[in-house]
Amino acid sequence: MSVAQSHLDFPSNLPVPVDDGACAHLNGITLPSFTLTSTSAGTVDLSSLKGLTIVFCYPRTGAPGETVPESWNLIPGARGCTPQACSFRDTSAELRGLGVSHIFGFSTQDTAYQAELKERLHLPYDLLSDEELKWAEALKLPTFEWEGRRLVKRLAIAVEDGKIVKTWYPIFPPDRSAHEVIEWLKGAKKASE
């Protein structure tokens, strides 16, 4: 049974994801050099960026008018990609004020799909596409299967000059993702004072 719901709404009975340790290996690693297609009509190699970069990964966003199938809601942590993207949109100025040089969303959806989302939601950052899961596989990011597609689980990483310095996984609820990053940044700033 499918339930027509806004992509910004959360059913109250969503299953909560648990930390299965699938991201424990990421902290401290240097990113491999890969070019990812960006919604800015170019490519980005996250390993070459200077400063602090935040990358939030999400499985997939729904299209306008798409009905969210109940099978999607039953997957722990799957629901909430649009609210996660909006959390970074709404806090982007604060994140930059706390020292973030770059913000990116990341999924396996194609760039044309992501460009529509960026425009529709007025996102002030680019989305990166990894349709063939090459970057996801190189980093051994956690994935899951849904309707014949392999999708990346929801997580976020902080990268400083090409090295992962912090991961957030699992993320729930998704609309709190950017706020978790902000709390970490404020804590790191306070510790350095």
The domain locations on the chain are 37-63+72-192
Q: Are 137 and 34 in contact (CB under 8 A)?
A: no
DSSP H helices in the chain: 70-73, 81-97, 111-121, 134-139, 177-192
Query: Which of these, 32, 51, 34, lies nearest to 43 by C-alpha position?
Result: 34
Q: How far is CA 84 from the centre of its chain?
A: 7
Tell me which residue of 162, 2, 161, 17 sits closest to 84, measured CA to CA: 17
- Between CA 14 and CA 12 the distance in angstroms is 6
Superfamily of the domain at 37-63+72-192: Glutaredoxin (3.40.30.10)
Whether pTM > 0.75 for this model: the answer is yes
Burial classification of residue 97, based on how many CB atoms lie within 10 Å of its CB (0-12 exposed, 13-18 middle, 19 or more buried): exposed
Dihedral angle over CA of 120, 53, 143, 64, nearest 10: 0
Residue 4 has what pLDDT? 36
Kindly report, residue by residue over 83-136, the tens digit of the pLDDT. 999 999 999 999 999 999 999 999 999 999 999 999 999 999 999 999 999 999
**pLDDT tens-digit map of 1-40:** 333 344 556 667 889 999 999 999 999 999 999 999 999 9
- Looking only at the bridges linking them, the beta strands covering 43-44 and 36-38 are antiparallel
